[in-house]
Amino acid sequence: MIGVEPECANDTYLSLINKKVTSVTTNTIADGLRTSQPGQLTFPILMKYLDDLVLVSEDEIRQAFSFVMERTKQLIEPSSATTIAAAIFDKLNLRDENIVSVISGGNVDLNKVHQFIRL
């Protein structure tokens, strides 16, 4: 299992490297991942079950968000676009492999969608 996190909201990534909960200051369009640190209950689970965690840039998130909207006509959350970005930009090192990307779209502020689209 591979997790994905925004580069500018990399609290879980740093926590996994440090093997302890690490806090960061964050600002990302992926508001569902805009936390300052992983949870005390979830962090041990991540330590046990994640095989890797990769980072994606804000621009990669925007490109993935736009790609899904353009190609599938689905509105997804920018946080969900992180998993698509990881696949599109070959962050997973799983070329020619079957992968599953969990995406959702129920929590999108329609007034901000224009900020997420990369033209």
Distance in angstroms (rounded) separating the CA atoms of residues 66 and 78: 10
Task: Give just the sign of the alpha carbon dihedral 101, 105, 108, 110.
Answer: positive
Annotate 85-119 with b (16+ C-beta within 10 A) or e (fewer).
bbbeeebbeeeeeeeebebeeeebeeeeeeebeee
The enclosing domain of 110 has a CATH number of 3.40.50.1100
Number of separate domains in the chain: 1
pLDDT at 17 over 90: yes
Per the listing, tokens 């490109």 go with 63
Domain span at 65: 2-116
The 10s digit of each residue's pLDDT in 71-109 is 999 999 999 999 999 999 999 988 888 988 888 877 787
pTM for this prediction: 0.90
Q: 37 near 24, Cβ under 8 Å?
A: yes
pLDDT at position 29: 92
